[in-house]
Amino acid sequence: MGNLNNKVAVVTGGARDIGRAVCVKLAQEGAKVVVNYFDSESDRDETMELIKSVGGEAIAVYADVTKQADIANMVAKTKEAFGDKIDILVNVAGGLFARKTIDEVDEDFYNLIMDVNFKSTVFVTKAFKPLFNQGGSIVNFASQAGRDGGGPGAFLYGASKGAVSTFTRGLAKELGPQGIRVNALNPGMIATKFHDDFTKDQVRQNVANATPLRREGKACEVADLVAYLAGPESSFLTGNNVDINGGLAFS
């Protein structure tokens, strides 16, 4: 407990993997956490139990963050539980869904990828912005794929995450005068269900072997970086896209 005592944090995609680790870490640091979930009540329940086990306080709110009505409901539930002010917003929600070549991509798949990875970040941020008073921190999730184009069949995912990176830089300029900092993370290969579902074991091993630290990252390591960017120690950092990839790619 400590750096984030009595702060209110909203985490989209907070029920599993990196989102879960972020929620637990922020709760450990003293924040009151709004855990957004979408498709798994069991993941939601496990995350809430983990937060409880570290002495944290949280609510779980269902929302499809590609839909503005659901986002508005999440804002209302946040106010109902914790008042009219938040201090931290972490936009974790995102997905790859499938690996497709340009010939395989249709309009529906394009909309799915862009909506989940980019539209959600824009409109969740817009909806929660009025709850930030002077100061606060927004942490977006881009990706190493946004820098290097992604692996095979992930060009559209990479493009959506590149949009998040640029959005982060532009919004940092817009919100800076209000003392609101906006940064993003570019995770590399992190051991999560995302890669369990979409990346072959041999590819994961090859990436690990090519990484100077010779391993995949852990969700808790990403969460530690989120907590740093959300807290007072990073008070003069904004507009950054911070790589966390074990040295596989350098800024």
The residue range of the domain holding 118 is: 8-244
DSSP state of 232: G
Length of the chain: 251
Options 37, 62, 110, 157, the catalytic residue: 157
What SS3 class is residue 243? Answer: strand
Residue 2 lies in a domain: no
- Within a domain: residue 249? no
Is 157 marked active-site?
yes
Residue 216 CB: number of other CB atoms within 10 A? 18
pLDDT tens per residue, range 41-75: 999 999 999 999 999 999 999 999 999 999 999 99
In a domain, 33, yes or no: yes
Residue 3 falls inside a structural domain: no
Q: Specify the pTM.
A: 0.95
Residue 106 counted as domain residue: yes
250 inside domain: no
d(CA 47, CA 90): 16
Write the CATH number for 173.
3.40.50.720
pLDDT tens for the chain, 251 residues long, are 579 999 999 999 999 999 999 999 999 999 999 999 999 899 999 999 999 999 999 999 999 999 999 999 999 999 999 999 999 999 999 999 999 999 999 999 999 999 999 999 999 999 999 999 889 999 999 999 999 999 999 999 999 999 999 999 999 999 999 999 999 999 998 887 777 776 788 888 888 788 888 888 899 999 999 999 999 999 999 999 999 989 888 87
Q: Enumerate the β-bridge partners of residue 96.
A: none
Task: Count CB-CB contacts under 10 A for residue 107.
Answer: 7
Q: Is residue 137 part of a domain?
A: yes
Query: Residue 41: inside a domain, yes or no?
Result: yes
What's the structural domain count of the chain?
1
